[in-house]
Chain A
Amino acid sequence: MSPARHPLLGLPATAAAAALNAIDPPMRALQRLLGVPRIGWMFVAPNLAILGLFTFLPIVVNFFFAVSGGVQLYPWERPFTGAENLQTLFDCENYLDPMSCRKDLFWRSIYNTAEFALLQVGLMVAFALVTALVLNRKILGRGFFRGVFFYPVLLSPVVVALIWKWVLQREGVLNAVLAAAGTSPVGWLSDASWAFFWCVFVSIWAHMGFYTLILLAGLQAIPADLYEAAEMDGASPWRRFSRLTLPLLMPNLIVVLVLGLIRAVQVFDEVFVLTGGGPGSATTFIVQFIYQTAFAEAIHQYGLAAAASLVLAVSLLALTLVQLRITRRNLAGRAGRDNA
């Protein structure tokens, strides 16, 4: 049945056909003007326009924000201040002690982010690896379990945070289980250390499935007869893992680590809803600092926020370049293997 006669699609399909017919004549004219090869520009134009307006232009403007002061939003109303914003950010007696810094929240958030990123990525990749190893065996219902771990990845960060906020309530189910077991309930999100822990935990819970899939694909790419050969070579299960699985999986592991780090450093959504950055500034991370500085506080310090975002961008650029380098080296290696 053609779309135009389909009961449900009938109206939109007819509308689409009408739109097509309307656009066609001007497009034909453009085609005559530009010639067929160059009409490619026309097709790519809308996408480029959006990117230009909302990505490339802002990157350039961000630099200007970073070197300007005042509280106005419009760049032409902002005085040029040079490196003053950066200086403010880096004004510290002792870089290791946030309290000695002029912008102590900035440094606090940097250390929080570093601690969070390392902890979260390290644990998450470890769990993802274990899960991938388990899923790689001949398990009944493997496809089902694969989906189970992946489900939280699809949920929105706000929903994820609320799910766990509800569990972690003072009168929530976790405390109920603990009470039944005899221990006293804990104010999970009102204690600085526990709040940090739960940020890490919830973040792992929400993202582990994605990386598990990548590692699982890597494991499945290792031919089974290599393991059989290793068995015939007298290798114990541990040696099969350390001398065969791990080295062959290393490229995937590195990709997962770098991707995970890039994401962890930019953590915001689920943490903001779960703890709001608290208690105090215990779970305030760098993106929240930038957001708060520019939008949430009484005085909108756009310049400072832009400068801070540059600091973040530089570190992320470094991570991304590392990833590119490894991927390129890995592709070359794999091509060599495939040429066999």
Chain B
Amino acid sequence: MRNLAAMLSARRGRGKPDWTDWLSYAYLLLGLVLMFFPVLWLVLSSFKSAAALNEFPPQLLPYGQKTVEVAGHEAPLPLYRVTLPDGAVRELAEVRRIGIQATLIDPAAPEQEYKVNIRDRKPVREFRLALGNYTEIFNKFSFGTFLWNSVFITVVATLITLLFNAMAAFALSKYRFAGRDTVFLLIISTLMIPPTIILVPNFLVVSQLGLLNSLWGVIWPAVATPTGVFLLRQYMLTIPDELIEAARMDHASEWRIFWRIVMPLSAPALAVLAIFSVMWRWNDFLWPLIVLSRTEKFTLQLALNAFQGELTTEWHYLLAMTVITLVPVTLVFAFLQKHITTGIAASGVK
């Protein structure tokens, strides 16, 4: 504890923390709340029942009404805190409600009935997760299909991206052929092309290839990422040429050299590109929106978008779907945050 205090006060080696330090911590704390709270609120809300979500003002945690088993009744009865005519406050179970009159009984003494105005009773709450939100979406809305579509696109596109980009990067870093630099510049120049300008014609191309409403129509246009080629090429340039020459002397074919030597050695860069690609494909929206118009082909992102228009009253399902959609990225973040942030900072820009 003394070390902590000593470290906190070792501000620029200058003695006690001054007001700028307190301000900094306040700002960071505010940032923490602002960045995390909305997400946290989403997650908390996704565990609430539809009824709880309709409450205003909303409670912080998911609550459900307590129920109690009473002898002589099949189903558990909801529990209320009741203010009786004589002023006493008791916890009673409700048997039935007609209009504004509720009939309640004491679970311990079920014979005695109390008739009370509904205004005089309040539900007894307990912490309860509405896990049904998560399970029912798979049945009611074929959520599993959307999940599968997203996973399929992400995994397949990433694998193809890794392969194609690595091949291109290999060619651009380890071979000298006429036109090599032009090709490299051509690939990099596509970074400057705004996607909007090729929306319509791409739609035509994909349609002509018969890939409309197919997951492959989302996958193929996305795999030739110039960023990926750039990244991998940068890394492959650091692989000593001698290794490749030695392999050639060992009668290895170029393909074998690529596959058995260069790819394994490029593992770190491939891992980075894989993470990027997973993020890009999982989060893709506009292009899948254009290509996939049949509901059974929707990715998670498209499904979320479609349902938030229709299901404005079924937020409890929408929230659960949203939470599931953000889980993969959050996991990547939690485990790899350090690498990603230092990687971006080191590369400066792209």
Contact between chain A and chain B defined by CB under 8 Å: yes
Contact surface of A with B, Cβ cutoff 8 Å: 20, 23-24, 27-28, 31, 36-44, 46-48, 50-51, 53-55, 57-59, 61-62, 65, 73-75, 130-131, 134-135, 137-140, 143, 145-152, 154-159, 162-167, 171-173, 175-176, 179-180, 205, 209-210, 213-214, 216-218, 220, 252, 255, 259, 262, 266, 268-269, 272-273, 276, 286-287, 290-291, 294-295, 302, 305-306, 309-310, 312-313, 316-317, 320, 327
A50 contacts B35, CB within 8 Å? no
Q: A24-B253, A44-B183, A73-B204 are in contact. Are A179 and B194 (CB under 8 A)?
A: no
Residues 1-26 of chain B: 1 if any A CB is under 8 Å from the residue's CB, otherwise 0?
00000011011100000000100110
Pairs across A and B, CB under 8 Å, 5 listed: A62-B198, A214-B348, A287-B196, A290-B199, A305-B200
Nearest-CB distance from B175 to chain A (Å)? Answer: 3
Q: Which residues of A contact B205 (CB under 8 A)?
A: 53-54, 57-58, 61
B282 contacts A156, CB within 8 Å? yes
Q: A156-B282, A166-B42, A173-B58 are in contact. Are A44 and B172 (CB under 8 A)?
A: yes
Bound CA span A140–B290, Å? 46
Bound CA span A27–B315, Å? 55
Q: Which of B263-301 contact A (CB under 8 A)?
A: 279, 282-283, 285-286, 289-290, 301
Q: Which residues of A contact B282 (CB under 8 A)?
A: 156
Interface-side segment among B87-95, B126-134, B136-144, B336-344: B336-344
Partner of B54, one of A41, A152, A171: A171
Q: Which residues of A contact B174 (CB under 8 A)?
A: 40
B229 contacts A73, CB within 8 Å? no
Contact surface of B with A, Cβ cutoff 8 Å: 7-8, 10-12, 21, 24-25, 27-28, 31-32, 34-36, 38-39, 41-42, 45, 54-58, 163-165, 167-168, 170-172, 174-177, 180, 183, 186-187, 190, 192-205, 207, 220-221, 223-224, 229, 248, 253-256, 258-260, 279, 282-283, 285-286, 289-290, 301, 304-305, 308-309, 315, 318-319, 322, 325-326, 329-330, 332-333, 337-338, 340-341, 344-346, 348-349
B35 contacts A148, CB within 8 Å? yes
Q: A20-B259, A44-B172 are in contact. Are A217 and B318 (CB under 8 A)?
A: no
A159 contacts B196, CB within 8 Å? no
Q: A28-B255, A140-B8, A176-B57 are in contact. Are A156 and B201 (CB under 8 A)?
A: no
B341 contacts A145, CB within 8 Å? no
Nearest-CB distance from B42 to chain A (Å)? Answer: 5
A179 contacts B57, CB within 8 Å? yes
Q: A51-B187, A139-B28, A176-B56 are in contact. Are A162 and B333 (CB under 8 A)?
A: no
Q: Which residues of B contact A152 (CB under 8 A)?
A: 35
Pick the 7 closest A-B CB pairs, nearest first: A40-B175, A156-B283, A58-B201, A43-B171, A176-B57, A50-B224, A47-B168
Q: Which residues of A contact B201 (CB under 8 A)?
A: 57-59, 61-62, 65, 306
Q: A38-B177, A73-B203 are in contact. Are A210 and B344 (CB under 8 A)?
A: yes
Q: Which residues of A contact B346 (CB under 8 A)?
A: 217
Q: Which residues of A contact B199 (CB under 8 A)?
A: 290-291, 294, 305, 309
Q: A137-B24, A309-B200 are in contact. Are A164 and B345 (CB under 8 A)?
A: no
B221 contacts A54, CB within 8 Å? yes
Q: Which residues of B contact A286 (CB under 8 A)?
A: 196
Nearest-CB distance from A23 to chain B (Å)? Answer: 6
Partner of B196, one of A209, A252, A309: A309
Residue of A nearest to B340 (CB): A150
Nearest-CB distance from B198 to chain A (Å)? Answer: 4
A313 contacts B196, CB within 8 Å? yes
Partner of B254, one of A27, A139, A157: A27
Q: Which residues of B contact A148 (CB under 8 A)?
A: 28, 31-32, 35-36
Partner of B35, one of A53, A151, A159, A218: A151
B167 contacts A294, CB within 8 Å? no
Nearest-CB distance from A43 to chain B (Å)? Answer: 4
A163 contacts B38, CB within 8 Å? yes
A40 contacts B171, CB within 8 Å? yes
B304 contacts A162, CB within 8 Å? yes
Q: A50-B164, A139-B25, A156-B326 are in contact. Are A59 and B177 (CB under 8 A)?
A: no
Residue of A nearest to B204 (CB): A73
A213 contacts B220, CB within 8 Å? no
Residue of A nearest to B301 (CB): A158
Bound CA span A53–B204, Å? 11
A312 contacts B196, CB within 8 Å? yes
Nearest-CB distance from B287 to chain A (Å)? Answer: 10
Q: Which residues of B contact A158 (CB under 8 A)?
A: 283, 285, 301, 304-305, 325
Bound CA span A155–B346, Å? 22
B175 contacts A43, CB within 8 Å? yes
Q: Which residues of B contact A28 (CB under 8 A)?
A: 253, 255
